[in-house]
Structure 1
Amino acid sequence: MMRRLVGVGVVVALCAMPWIVDAYSISTLSRILTFGLLAISVNLLTGVTGLPTLGQSAYFGVGAYTGAIVATTMSDLGPLQLVLSAVAGAVAAAITGPVAVRARGVSFLMITLAIGEIGYSAAGRLDGITRGTDGFSGIPPVVAAPGMAPFVQDGLVYYYVLVMFLLLYGLVALLVRSPFGLTLRGIRDNEDRLRAVGYNTTAYALAAYCIAGALAGAAGSLWTSTQNFVAPGDMGFQVAALALLAVVIGGLGSMWCSVVGAAIVILTRDYIGGYFPGHGTLLLGIVFVVAVYTLPRGLAGLRRPKAEVRS
């Protein structure tokens, strides 16, 4: 009961933010929610399934560019952009996933890193699709529903991002508590035993990989709606590393704490780092070292230090 009350309180506070803080802070909150969704996709693989990844930025970028292309050539309807971006992310994951999910541990990490770097390189070279290193600009403001006016104010864009985030977070929360989610935890804890009783663990890992790709693609669409601009750097190694850092800070397996970790990363880089120009990366490194030594189970470990951390 207490956990539900805290959740309701957090949602109410998030809804009230446009009436309390300035436009820059609202824009930062939109980025936090978007990046938090990317961190959730990383945690679904790293924390729940036991597959540490540095490749989700590739599917994030696929979703971002898909959202940009749909917005400029097909429709400015935000939910349509999000759905098509999620599908694009899932398809990209389905194409590249079979190579990755056959590996485990460091090998899986390195394969996903390579996938991310290939995506980053392709985004810079496919000028006819991505507009190359100049970036994809001229993206129209998002529209939440047919007949509505475009969302040009930061507060309205924030509400759109918040609603989409809460819907997707709810779906992920149901997924990780389902029999499918428990099977993914079984892969993490003892894959050999699952294989012994007849589970096709590779198929389950590939399904999780595709779902995580869809989540990352949806996050990319929200990023496009927030920034109205996409560039190859949005799917580079730094984005992948920061998403994994958010998961480590928040705690493996806890989806909500991944979002808190994402908030710490974004605020450290974009807000606190503003007081120390050119030292944002150094500050993030300090945060990471402090988190590893003082919170080995992440922020989620403060809540349930002796039990398995769940979302």
Structure 2
Amino acid sequence: MDTSNTNLTVLTEFFLLGFSDNQLLRIFYFFLFLVIFSGTICGNLLIITLVSTSKILHTPMYFFISQLSISDILLPTDIVPNLLHILLNNGGTISFIGCMTQLYFFSVSEVFECLLLTVMSYDRYVAICNPLRYTSIMTGTYCMRLAAMCWLISIIVSFVDTTTPSMLIFCGPNIIDHFFCDLVPIMEIACSDTFVVQLEMYLLSFPLVIAPSIIIIVCYINITGNILRIPSSTGRQKAFSTCSSHLIVVSIFYWSMFGVYVFPTRGQSSAISKILSLLYTVFTPFINPIIYSLRNKDIRKAVQYTVTYITWL
């Protein structure tokens, strides 16, 4: 009996299936994700550089956007390189420690983005609903404290969120039908009872996903009411433009998160789960800098100024 119990815990690696399509499709996916990953890193590094060097971007909103860009670099860096390896080899192994490490950094990035998007909605709420007190409320020190709090909570919660599944027993097939070590597919191949992990996941979903989404909705209800009271159409349009980019990012991120973790469809196929996961792990970090740069005059001006300055040198 002792020997069998020992055998239950000897699992040292998992096999990630990735996308089991034909070779031509996998090669197409490889180059597609490679281009997206390269664009993600370059786009987010550009925003971080512009916000840190351009004086016109030294405001709370752009500070939070730069923090979002840091998260958008961390997440695909944790996921995509191994995904590219899996695509080239039609699957790939990952060690147990490597799997838990990937899950940890994935969790840090996702929890941080959930919290930061909520903070950003509060920033827009104060800017539009209480503009006269905006500079006194959203001070530089206060913004840095909010960002630091988001990072600290995400680091602590992710440690707890990773420790519990790492204590599960894996004695059967080590094949994970996914392209990275996500919590749900890991639980599916566990031999031991996953009730504690599932309970933890649902309990954490309220303060980290449901509550922030409620706060965002309440903020934007108040924002919309204040914008509609603006007498001039130009003023309304300007106010809406400052919120639309954030609202697009929030919609894509939260709906995909809700689809995978909070309200997953019963019998949801692995293909649908992978597509939803791709939305917030690969495509959202790539789209975020595009949305914020193309729809933002200040960032476009900062880019033009930087290009002009480099050309002049």
Q: TM-score, normalised by structure 1?
A: 0.34
Higher relative contact order (CA 8 A, sep 6+): 1
Q: TM-score, normalised by structure 2?
A: 0.34
